[in-house]
A and B are shown apart, each in its own frame.
Chain A
Amino acid sequence: MILAVLNIDWQTLADATALGAIYALMAVGIGLVFGVLRLVNFAYGQLVMAGAFALAMASQWDWPVWAAIVLCFAVVLVLSFLMDRLVFRPLRGHSPAVMLVATFAVAFLLQNVALLWFGPLGKIATSLAYLNRPWTISTVDIRKITVVAVVVAALCLLLLHQLLERTEIGLHMRASSMDFQTARLLGVRANRVIGVAVLLSGALAAVVAVMLTVETPLVTPDFALRDTIVVLAGVVVGGMNRPVPATLGGFAIGFASGLLGGALPTNESQYLDSFVFAAVIIVLLVRPGGLFTRARTVERV
């Protein structure tokens, strides 16, 4: 009923859920690194972009799907490893402003390397395009990718949850994001925890790259840039300090922008960004510590 009033059909709902799922993964990737390093990684979208270009090149060379995905993971993981070693590690413990601007610089750099390398028009990734075909359930067409995205995202989150709750390195990571100094005093090895967090967030970026290239096969140097900005807002709105609120924030902003994009009439949907970011400002004003956090968190940045 409410759906009908708001002019939302099942298809919009499914697409919004899939977008929310993908954004939730990006949110976890950003949140993991923030937890251990107190660093907002603005260059996260460029990791996704690099993975997407890997997929596009692989489909241009007619590689099989599995090889394309392996290449995508390899490229993104190597890049995140390098980012950690060359930028994050030397900057550890500096002021958040400096770290944020440094990741800004890295993002800018990677984007322009891509521009120089692949040109402004971009490449097309086609190897997984068959996932765009719909399954028809009664009268509703649901693209396969929406189901795949939701299932993959749920699986990744479940695995990550198990890792954080059940393993020693997971325990170390949770301890580090509570209080890095104390965790180190108690014998947590900083480089290892940070390295694992960065690689995990890189792996999530690769997963996101695979799914986003199905949604939008044209890969340009500013691929995933918009999404990163929106997800960053979502993560802060949800609550940056903890993985679960961050994930929920990412999902919420993806779901909301998917729904609004489908529900608004065309002449108003060009103002979609204004609506979304106005909502972000309002939520931040009402609950600056995060929408999905319980207690008032102490501001550390």
Chain B
Amino acid sequence: MKRLVDLQALAGPALLVVVAALLGTTVSVSTQGYFTDTLVKVAIVVALYVFVGNSGVLSFGHISFVAIGAWTAGVLSVPAAEKPAIMPNLAHFLRDRTTGNLSSLVLAGLVAGVCALIVALPLMRLSGLAAGIATFAVLEITHNLLRYEEKIGPGLNTFSSVPETTGLRQAALGALFVVVVAFAYGRSRYGRLLRATREDDAAARAVGASVYRQRLIAFAISGALAGLAGGLYVHLLPLNTESLYLDLTFITLAMLVVGGATSLWGAVVGALAVSALDSYLSLAENGTSFFFWHIDLPAGTRVIVVGALMAIVLILRPAGLTGGREFKLWPR
């Protein structure tokens, strides 16, 4: 029975993802794109949660792992015949190889995970503001390198010709996978130790937890999940370096904090709530009707409303919409 009650924390977020995906099947094909995009965002935010939520250290660098995953999956799955057109300066060992959809996603996760581990080895010695700025520096460096290094990708160009295999089903399965891994990690010995260091650093050290090692593990796992999400993203729409930079960093962090950074439930709720608002407003910019009113907003109001609402939520409910607690149907 206790086991079952514990599984609520997984069932809530997973159910929400499934419901969002099912809702997506009921709408027109053009609106379905918003649902698919939302599910990929859920995957990114949950990946971010694995590190930020459990450790309490802000990371601005996770979008670099999303970008690395997107680049890996993208470069590997563009058909060999079209590679010279988009990426004329590609390195030889990448030029002739093409992989399928699933293996490109797996590789995206692996490559991003390894990169995250390498980055974390020195970085996890830092904490607080220094750690935040250092992860920001990682984002800047990754963005700069991917932008100008044409041996490993399209550089300034947009990643066109990647097979668009991320439909609603693949996005939902990917998001579910990320949620399950995040849940399993949170239940594991490592997740618990890391949360202990978040709550009380000194006490956690006193019972033998190594802050450095726990953060390292979390950073690598969350980097790998972010890479997988990046792989899903590049199979969804043509990306370039600008779409994987400050705006995405901001919106995903905001989703996490608005939902409630310290719980998986909060990550999923925040991602879905902000995405829903964002998608609805961008529909409204093209003209839509809300019950009986016809709404037609000027272009650009979307981001302003989203930004203002996020500031308001943070001021009124600093612990996030869920208060940072896990999902519970009935209190124990």
Contacts and interface: CB of A to CB of B under 8 A. Distances in A.
Interface of A: 40, 87, 90-91, 94-98, 100-102, 104-106, 108-109, 112-113, 115-116, 225, 229, 232-233, 236-237, 240, 270-271, 273-274, 277-278, 280-281, 284-285, 288, 299-301
Contacts of B128: 299-301
A115 B247 CA distance: 14
Interface stretch (B141-149, B177-185, B275-283): B141-149
A112 B307 contact: yes
Contact of A113 (B144, B148, B254, B304): B304
Nearest to B127: A299
Contacts of B314: 91, 98, 101-102, 105
A109 B250 CA distance: 11
A251 B276 CA distance: 43
A67 to B, nearest CB: 29
A299 B202 CA distance: 14
A221 to B, nearest CB: 10
Contacts of A236: 129-130, 133
Contacts of B308: 105, 109
B298 A116 contact: yes
Contacts of B23: none
B250 to A, nearest CB: 5
Given A112-B307, A280-B137, A94 B300 contact: no
Given A233-B136, A271-B148, A277-B137, A108 B129 contact: no
A277 B145 CA distance: 12
Interface stretch (B30-38, B118-126, B158-166, B287-295): B118-126
B138 interface: yes
29 contacts: A87-B311, A90-B315, A91-B314, A91-B318, A95-B318, A96-B58, A97-B56, A97-B58, A97-B257, A104-B253, A105-B310, A106-B311, A109-B307, A109-B308, A112-B307, A116-B301, A116-B304, A232-B133, A236-B133, A271-B144, A273-B144, A274-B140, A274-B141, A277-B138, A278-B141, A281-B123, A285-B134, A299-B130, A301-B128
Nearest to A104: B250
Given A100-B58, A109-B311, A285-B122, A229 B254 contact: no
B7 interface: no
A284 B257 CA distance: 26
B203 interface: no
B19 interface: no
Nearest to B258: A101
Contact of A288 (B126, B246, B254): B126
Contacts of B250: 104-105, 108
A157 B147 CA distance: 38
Given A101-B254, A101-B257, A105-B254, A277 B304 contact: no
Nearest to B249: A104
Contact of B315 (A87, A104, A229): A87
Interface SS of chain B: helix, strand, loop or mixed? helix
B285 to A, nearest CB: 11
Contacts of A108: 250, 303, 307
A225 B298 CA distance: 25
A240 B128 CA distance: 12
Given A91-B314, A105-B311, A236-B130, A278 B304 contact: no
B261 interface: yes
B315 A273 contact: no
Nearest to A110: B307
Interface residues of B, number: 40
A245 to B, nearest CB: 13
B300 A112 contact: yes
Given A102-B310, A277-B141, 10 more contacts: A90-B315, A97-B58, A104-B250, A104-B254, A108-B307, A232-B133, A233-B136, A278-B137, A285-B122, A288-B127
Contacts of A278: 137, 141
Contacts of A102: 310-311, 314-315
Nearest to A113: B304
A120 B141 CA distance: 26
Contacts of B144: 270-271, 273-274, 277
Interface centre among B136, B148, B314 (most CB of A within 10 A): B314
Contact of B304 (A87, A104, A112): A112
Nearest to B129: A301
B140 A273 contact: yes
Nearest to B149: A271
Contacts of B134: 280-281, 284-285
Contact of A94 (B56, B140, B143, B318): B318
Nearest to B125: A285
B126 A284 contact: yes
A228 B331 CA distance: 46
Interface centre among B123, B246, B254 (most CB of A within 10 A): B246
A273 B141 contact: yes
Contacts of A225: 246
Contacts of A115: 300
B137 A281 contact: yes
